[in-house]
Amino acid sequence: MQENKLALFEEKEIRREWYKDDWYFSVIDVVEVLIDNNKRPRKYWSDLKQKLILEGFIEVSEKIGQLKMMAKDGKINR
């Protein structure tokens, strides 16, 4: 099992979990790094998924697994 649960990208932390011999990264953390700082990454991700569905990508959420990760405040996300 891997110990380091945080990765750094441009000095910002991205949560990750070691699962079935692969690293899985927090999409919300990645979105936060890639978008403007004054936007809400969770809302941005939600809106993006809706846009993709409207454009015909019907399996957007089905292909994305969700793992429980520790939030920045120390709580476990469900």
12-57 pLDDT, tens digit per residue, is 888 888 888 888 888 888 998 888 666 788 898 889 888 988 898 8
Domain-by-domain residue ranges, the chain? 6-54
Question: If phi over 0 gives left and psi between -120 and 50 gives alpha, with beta otherwise, what is residue 2?
Answer: beta
Alpha helices (H) in the chain, listed in sequence order: 27-34, 41-54
At residue 39, what are phi and psi to the nearest 5 degrees? -100, 160
pTM: 0.71
For 1-9, the CB contacts below 8 A with 24+ separation are 5/70, 9/33
Q: Is the pLDDT assigned to residue 2 strictly greater than 60?
A: no
